[in-house]
Structure 1
Amino acid sequence: MGEQVTRIGIVGTGVISGTYLDHLAKLPGVEVAAVADLDVSRAQTVADAHPGVRPLSSDDLLADPDVDVVLNLTIPAAHAPVHRAALEAGKHTYGEKPLAVDRAEAKPLLELAEAKGLRIGCAPDTVLGTGTQTARAVIDRGDIGVPTAASASFVTPGHELWHPAPEFYYQPGGGPLLDMGPYYVTSLVTLLGPVRRVTGRAGRSQDERKVHTGPRAGAIFPVDVPTHVTGILEHESGALTTVLMSFDVWAARLPRIEIYGTDGSLSVPDPNAFDGTVEIATAAQREWTEVPVAGGYAGAGRGVGVADLARAIRTGGPHRADGALAFHVLDVLESLLEAAAKDQPVDVTSTVERPAAVPLGASPETA
């Protein structure tokens, strides 16, 4: 086993783990060593399909000296407890979004990681791909002048139409804002910088929903979170972003993300994807035109943030999808829900530096 390989232990072998396993196998500097799940048979099945990966109990994985980083792919309610257990076991940790279900759970994780000299990272790492990073390069070059506003929209009729066990999407830590909002707000912070104040409204169309697929099709479950959230994010730069996140919309024609500047506008691709076409329209050229790729990890997939973290561990440099960014994004999202509940603007008390841009042609092993 090479000295420069960072060994990953995955806790949680649900739907998303397959994507991580597929992409981590292709990335330099990382190797999946073990998997664990409350359902021992599921962990065994995953291990059987990936030679060299050992199925362990969660406790054994956390204690395993051959695991350097714990990849936390549990449901949102378990994110903070698993992160804490990993840090207390002396492991670096990286997890799916959100970092925790709320700021009260999340902040002690950052404090614990700092106290122990360990790293904590968090999805989404989609912003490290060529889509958002090309848009970042366009903005940083000044091609649309000074960004003054943006719009961001995600709408769907609900994940219960395709997910066989969708309940967690409608429990604290879920809903459209905490499920999909991290992709959008992380991209917006990467492009426009941190947020200082938010205003919002929230509601829900149904108190119960129905599973549509899988062995539990027809089962009814409660909705415990808002399923339609809209609001305004005021960035520290002064730019204003209008956001709409909903599980209550059957169809719509809305941009994923658009950035509006003094000299032009920028169309940013789906922040839940790593690539996609970036388009620009300017005062001089009103027609939308495609922007050549100008940054980002090419061909990236879920797990590139883990590889970026692993490289930072080896070199001592910063990693991009870090805990401070994830905490600020969670702070923005929770503040938006608070603003909706209070019917008044809420100041976002945290801030963060924009993570370093990913240069064109970079590899997560070296940049």
Structure 2
Amino acid sequence: MTGRVVLLGCGFVADLYMRSLAAMPGIEVAGVHDLNAARLKTFCDFWKVPAKPSFDALLNDAPDALVLNLTNPHAHYETTRACLMAGRHVYSEKPLAMTVEDARELHGLAERQGLILASAPCSVLGEAAQTLGHALRTGVAGTPRAIYAELDDGFIPQAAFTKWLSESGAPWPYQDEFRVGCTLEHAGYYLGWLIGWFGSVRTVVAASAEVIPDKAGQGPFAPDLSVATLFFENGPVTRLTCSIVAPHDHSIRVVGDKGVLSCNAAWDNSAKVRFARRMTVRRRLMESPLPRRVRLPGPTHPKVKRWGAAAMNFMLGPAEVLEALKQGRPCRVGGDFALHMTEVTLAIQNAGEHSGAQAMTTRCDPMEPMPWAK
């Protein structure tokens, strides 16, 4: 793997990219820029990467580098658009934009410019997601009939989040997190898997609400709880929950004709995938209490040790963009995939109490498996 990247923004999440970069030899950070000069200096001194004094300098000093847009979510549209207008490929932190209209505009602009516009999260490219995808394709559980996926993080407003610091000392941006909302921030971790396996969501039936008032910081705040039922064009009906209310649960269960495939940690690339066969014991129908682990036959991708709540290689996405450019092929997490995931996520986030069934207007094909997962 070879290539160069530049970082636009060096807040809390940027440290997770830098930790992951250490596991990806051959990818060089050619520059970093942030509007906060003090934060920029601290970050670049800590990671020993070159600071750039302006947005123009960041782009001009490394014209061949992929831009990693790690800015505040509300700035994603404006900053990504500027990068695309400058003729640069972009890998954006989630969400691609705060509205479907803005995301659609960015998608169209990238297509017209012949550029890749890709979106986090990239856990769909990780071992756990690819292992579960392989199990689905090979019929380990038979035909999948329903999926339950949970992205609940506990009662976060009572956590000691003001003490959460990144490796280089950036505070967890709790005001942004509460304003953007847990659905926009987190739904993609399983939506990416699901869309990668099955392709387009046809209809979203969802509800969302703010059930914890008076959170820290200045509102208005986004919903802190959402529940969605997803109807795929070619896949099983899925229920997806996101919250910063319910006890921590990052599990996914795929119910098939033969039994249940499961994984308990969306934020761990090495999380175990298990299969519990369905059986009848003394007239009682049950899944095996001793599920077997499902594995891929060979080596997969570089891993990153756990830090905080996650054990994810955040550089799998940028590496995929660089490989796609090198090989002259479509990017797995770019284009239609990035736009469709944004539309579905926003439909869930903004559902409220009365939206009912929402027909999706974007489409994407299932994702080509990683070479080591075929």
Query: TM-score per shorter chain, which class?
Result: 0.7 to 0.9
Q: Which residue of 2 aligns with 1:327?
A: 339
From 96, 99, 102, the equivalent of 1:102 is 99
Q: For residues 128 and 343 of structure 1, what CA distance do their matches in structure 2 show?
A: 32
The answer to whether the 8 Å contact 1:204/1:228 transfers is yes
| 2:156 is aligned with 1:158 | yes
The answer to whether the 8 Å contact 2:205/2:358 transfers is yes
Q: Which residue of 2 aligns with 1:365?
A: none
Q: Which residue of 2 aligns with 1:175?
A: 181
Q: For residues 241 and 339 of structure 1, what CA distance do their matches in structure 2 show?
A: 16
| 2:205 is aligned with 1:207 | no
**Deviation at residue 242 of structure 1 after TM alignment:** 1.0
Q: Which residue of 1 aligns with 2:321?
A: 309
Q: For residues 276 and 269 of structure 2, what CA distance do their matches in structure 1 show?
A: 22
What is the count of residue pairs matched by the alignment?
Answer: 346
Q: Which residue of 1 aligns with 2:20?
A: 23
Q: For residues 351 and 229 of structure 2, what CA distance do their matches in structure 1 show?
A: 10
Q: For residues 255 and 124 of structure 1, what CA distance do their matches in structure 2 show?
A: 15
Q: For residues 373 and 340 of structure 2, what CA distance do their matches in structure 1 show?
A: 28
Q: Secondary structure at the match of 2:215?
A: strand
| 2:43 is aligned with 1:46 | yes
| 2:82 is aligned with 1:79 | no
Cα deviation digits, residues 69-121 of structure 1 (max 9, x gap) = 11001111011111111111111110111111121111111111111111111
Change in CA separation of 1:245 and 1:7 when aligned onto 2, cut-off 3 Å: same
The answer to whether the 8 Å contact 2:204/2:231 transfers is yes
Q: Which residue of 1 aligns with 2:371?
A: 359
Q: Which residue of 2 aligns with 1:213?
A: none
Report % sequence identity: 29
What is the Cα-based RMSD across aligned positions, in Å?
Answer: 2.2
The answer to whether the 8 Å contact 1:338/1:346 transfers is no
The residue type paired with residue 47 of structure 2 is: H
Q: Which residue of 2 aligns with 1:297?
A: 301
The answer to whether the 8 Å contact 1:44/1:55 transfers is no
Q: Which runs of 5+ in 2 are unaligned?
A: 165-170, 280-286, 305-312
**Deviation at residue 136 of structure 1 after TM alignment:** 0.6
Q: For residues 266 and 151 of structure 1, what CA distance do their matches in structure 2 show?
A: 11
Change in CA separation of 1:202 and 1:245 when aligned onto 2, cut-off 3 Å: same
Write out aligned runs for 1:90-129 (5 A): 90-129=87-126
The answer to whether the 8 Å contact 2:92/2:119 transfers is yes
Q: Secondary structure at the match of 1:43?
A: helix
Q: For residues 67 and 341 of structure 1, what CA distance do their matches in structure 2 show?
A: 47
The answer to whether the 8 Å contact 1:151/1:255 transfers is no
Q: For residues 191 and 36 of structure 2, what CA distance do their matches in structure 1 show?
A: 33
TM-score norm. by structure 1 comes to: 0.87
The residue type paired with residue 30 of structure 2 is: A
The residue type paired with residue 102 of structure 1 is: T
Q: Which residue of 2 aligns with 1:259?
A: 254
Q: For residues 32 and 81 of structure 2, what CA distance do their matches in structure 1 show?
A: 18
The answer to whether the 8 Å contact 1:30/1:310 transfers is no
Q: For residues 82 and 29 of structure 1, what CA distance do their matches in structure 2 show?
A: 26
Cα deviation digits, residues 154-204 of structure 1 (max 9, x gap) = 222126642543111122xx2121111111211121233321101112211
Cα deviation digits, residues 204-249 of structure 1 (max 9, x gap) = 1233212xxxxxxxxx433421111112111112511111111222
Q: Which runs of 5+ in 1 are unaligned?
A: 211-219, 363-367
TM-score norm. by structure 2 comes to: 0.86
The answer to whether the 8 Å contact 2:3/2:28 transfers is yes
The answer to whether the 8 Å contact 1:63/1:89 transfers is no
Cα deviation digits, residues 13-35 of structure 1 (max 9, x gap) = 01111121222243144211000
The answer to whether the 8 Å contact 1:281/1:289 transfers is yes
The answer to whether the 8 Å contact 2:130/2:373 transfers is no
Q: Secondary structure at the match of 2:218?
A: strand
**Deviation at residue 45 of structure 1 after TM alignment:** 2.1
